[in-house]
Amino acid sequence: MKTLDDLLSDGVRGRRVLVRADLNVPLDGTTITDDGRVRASLPTLKALTEAGARVVVAAHLGRPKGEHDARYSLGPVAARLGELLGAPVTLASDVVGSSARTTVGAQDEGSVVLLENVRFDPRETSKDGAERGELADELAALVGRDGAFVSDGFGVVHRKQASVYDVAHRLPRYAGRLVLAEVEVLRTLTGDPKRPYVVVLGGAKVSDKLGVIANLLTKVDRLLIGGGMAYTFLKAKGYEVGKSLLQSDQLDQVAGFLAEAEKRGVELVLPVDVLAATEFAADAPHEVVAVDAIPADRQGLDIGPDTRKLFADKLADAATVFWNGPMGVFEFAAFAGGTRAVAEAILASPAFSVVGGGDSAAAVRALGLPEDRFSHISTGGGASLEFLEGKDLPGVTVLES
């Protein structure tokens, strides 16, 4: 796999370089509420601009369904990226149209042009390789014959999309700083991690993590399950879960996981108590109950104090930790304690610690926890999980070919 350093050593002054970044940030109207992904793009972009490249950035925001939608414009991202880079970032008003061609054609050395949301073009996500190829051709044409492609959007490398996969076949291709760091970290987890190797999984649905659970049961020493997905596990063990989130169609699958963990000697740890609320609301009345005493009219919205201590004890001697998914509805202050407790237990352990992107990374920032004390915080929740599941990531395999 060729890297950004290989490209820089070849010389980029005056050359146009297409960078696929992941700038898919959460917005409240036009206000970015978490700029973590924008910040993660800076090392690659700064290295290129400081070397004199004309940088053209392709990125997406949300799911605009292949048409221009002002709600998903990258305008706020361009403004924030310019602030962080200390230089204006020009936003083209289209993806590969006249605005993109004119704006890119006029840019100076060491400058950055951000193309409008690449998912405004339906060819980006098309299942038809020929359609994606047409868009890839036009993206490649923007940077010209002397151009290059740098893949730095780890959050999309599990997608076979025009700006991720197809364009890499049309230009000299390189892994950016972020993609390289993410792949190296995840290969540590899937190779020969230091033990005990403990994985903490949370989030809403167990169905989102079937593949990764199956694969992790062959690799980990302990698997701690929290969040909404825990209630399907508890139900599979015979507990009543009231109105808690439950995927009844996954009960047989989960029962199989429980049996497989026992067979392999993997310690699969479930909550022993929860915060049971009257409704799904920030101010909902709630009480701590044991998992064998969840009232029929209540729903669990966070792990309880005994579970927090139990999980902390199971993390205390870990040498390697991977964490993906909150332990409760951390967006509500009353139900953020479990997620905070797990995060603080990971920080207190001596482990090489990886936060697997998505809601887990958002929770770290929302709760004001020190990001730099985790060994690595991934920018790609879905990509991280698919990597740990053992799947090939198209945006990575194309860089290795």
**Taking the mean position of all CA atoms in its chain, how far away is CA 167?**
22
DSSP codes joined into one string, 20-65: E------EETTEES--HHHHHTHHHHHHHHHTT-EEEEE---S--T
Q: Is 166 marked within a binding site?
A: no
Q: Is 60 annotated as a binding residue?
A: yes
Determine if residue 159 is labeled as part of a ligand binding site: yes
Q: Is 62 annotated as a binding residue?
A: yes
Contacts of 297 (CB under 8 A, 6+ apart): 242, 243, 278
Q: Is 249 annotated as a binding residue?
A: no
Q: What angle do CA 172, 106, 164 make, to 5 degrees?
A: 30
Q: So which residues are the catalytic ones?
A: 37, 205, 358, 382
How wide is the angle at C-alpha 89 spanned by C-alphas 85 and 91, nearest 5°? Answer: 150
Say if residue 119 carries a ligand binding annotation.
Answer: yes
Say how far apart CA 103 and CA 108 lie, in whole Å: 10
10 is in an annotated binding site: no
**13 belongs to an annotated ligand binding site:** no
Parallel/antiparallel/unpaired status of strands 286-290 and 299-303: unpaired
Instruction: Calculate the alpha carbon distances from 77 to 41, 110, 113, 336, 349 in Å.
Output: 12, 19, 12, 28, 36
Joined together, the tokens standing for residue 248 give 């009844």
State whether residue 96 is helix, strand or coil: coil
Determine whether the annotation assigns residue 331 to a binding site.
yes
Distance (Å, whole) CA 190 – CA 390: 8
Neighbours of 341 (CB within 10 A): 21
| 117 assigned ligand-binding residue | no
> What are the structure tokens assigned to 13, written together?
């002054």
The amino acid occupying position 199 is V
Closest among 202, 133, 204, 182 to 22, alpha carbons compared: 182
Structure tokens at 4: 């950004």
Judged by DSSP in three states, 248 sits in helix
Query: Binding residue per annotation — 145?
Result: no
Say whether 93 counts as a known binding-site residue.
no
* Cis, peptide link before residue 26, omega less than 30° from 0: no
Distance CA 15, CA 165 (A): 21
377-to-21, 186, 322, 330 alpha-carbon distances in Å: 16, 11, 10, 18
Q: Is 63 annotated as a binding residue?
A: yes
Distance CA 237, CA 24 (A): 38
What residue numbers does the annotated binding site for (2R)-3-phosphoglycerate cover? 37, 119, 159
Which positions make up the binding site for substrate?
22-24, 37, 60-63, 119, 159
Q: Can you say which residues are annotated as belonging to the binding site?
A: 22-24, 37, 60-63, 119, 159, 209, 300, 331, 357-360
Q: Which residues are annotated as a binding site for ATP?
A: 209, 300, 331, 357-360
